[in-house]
């Protein structure tokens, strides 16, 4: 049963991140997601200082606020200074992440809150931290991630038309009265919430991998946003399941194995895209295959 809980936790993280990652990739904001996943660390630490509790709800609130602040800082640096967007992202997330590490190492030295937990996580320990739900003992991370996924699916698919318009044609969206800034900050907030909800179980590194790689792989093989979402989710699930069994067989890190399988799937999709281009350039190749 423990194996099932571990795999299911990985799947929940992968699906949540793949859905959000699809819109990040299509908006050319993939590295902003990377920045937020690191920059929320000060928000987590400050939430603990203010409340004295490691309760997930306060962590989520702190992370969400810090995610919005990160986005504001990046946009301000890009628009008000001569820095390019990639440089603004680099400056912001390295500063905030380093600040979070310093706060943890200085103020929370004797508390069960450290940078190794945030960076690497340990998904194998998920079944050990349980909570009673309707008389059932379920992993706490599993319950929290389930609610996060339900929220993401509800917001994305209920407002799917708005997400599509603001993603592909922001000027048109603004001309018909839609607030592109609102949807942008909402996306960043969801990324922040998902990141902090996944910290204890899988760590920030796997979250970044799932935010970028499955969506990028799907983007290579289809031009339809619905198919991109579907393929990204499938690739995320395959990465979780395949990564777990590969880690069990090789006796290596589960999170690292999941991220590696995700990279392998991206490589396969890259090869498929390259092969398609070659076939279009040389129809004779297709005839030879027949």
What are the structural domains of the chain? 2-208 (1.10.3470.10)
Residue 279 exposure: Cα atoms within 13 Å on the Cβ side: 11
The DSSP element (H or E) to which 131 belongs, if any, is strand 130-133
Query: Consecutive sets of 10 residues in the chain, 290 residues long: mean pLDDT of each?
Result: 86 94 89 76 77 68 79 81 80 85 69 55 76 80 89 93 90 86 85 78 80 94 92 95 92 88 95 85 59
Rounded to 5°, angle at Cα 257 from 254 and 258: 85
* pTM (2 d.p.): 0.85
Q: How many CB atoms lie within 10 A of CB 223?
A: 7
pLDDT at 77: 85
Distances (CA, A) of 167 to 30, 43, 161: 13, 28, 10
Closest CA to 210 of 156, 164, 281, 263: 263
Q: Are 195 and 24 in contact (CB under 8 A)?
A: no
């Amino acid at each position: 049963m423990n194996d099932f809980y571990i795999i299911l936790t990985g799947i929940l993280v992968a699906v949540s991140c793949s859905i959000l990652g699809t819109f990040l990739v299509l908006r050319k904001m993939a590295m902003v997601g990377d920045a937020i996943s690191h920059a929320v660390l000060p928000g987590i630490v400050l939430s603990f200082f203010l409340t004295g509790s490691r309760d997930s709800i306060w962590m989520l609130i702190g992370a969400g606020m810090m995610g919005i602040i990160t986005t504001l800082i990046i946009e301000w640096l890009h628009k008000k200074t001569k820095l390019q967007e990639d440089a603004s992202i680099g400056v912001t997330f390295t500063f905030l992440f380093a600040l979070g590490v310093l706060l943890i190492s200085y103020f929370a030295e004797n508390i069960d809150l450290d940078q190794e937990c945030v960076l690497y996580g340990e998904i194998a320990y998920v079944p050990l931290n349980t909570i009673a739900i309707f008389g059932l003992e379920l992993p706490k991370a599993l319950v929290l991630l389930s609610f996060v996924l339900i929220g993401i699916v509800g917001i994305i698919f209920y407002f799917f038309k708005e997400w599509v318009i603001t993603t592909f044609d922001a000027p048109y969206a603004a001309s018909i009265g839609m607030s592109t800034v609102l949807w942008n900050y909402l996306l960043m907030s969801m990324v922040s919430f998902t990141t902090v909800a996944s910290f204890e179980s899988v760590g920030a590194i796997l979250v970044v991998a799932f935010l970028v790689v499955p969506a990028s792989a799907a983007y290579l093989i289809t031009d339809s946003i619905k198919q991109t979402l579907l393929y990204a989710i499938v690739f995320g699930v395959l990465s979780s399941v395949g990564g777990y069994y590969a880690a069990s067989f090789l006796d290596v890190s589960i999170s690292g194995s999941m991220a590696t399988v995700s990279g392998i799937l991206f490589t396969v999709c890259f090869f498929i895209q390259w092969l398609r281009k070659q076939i279009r350039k040389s129809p004779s190749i297709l005839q030879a295959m027949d």
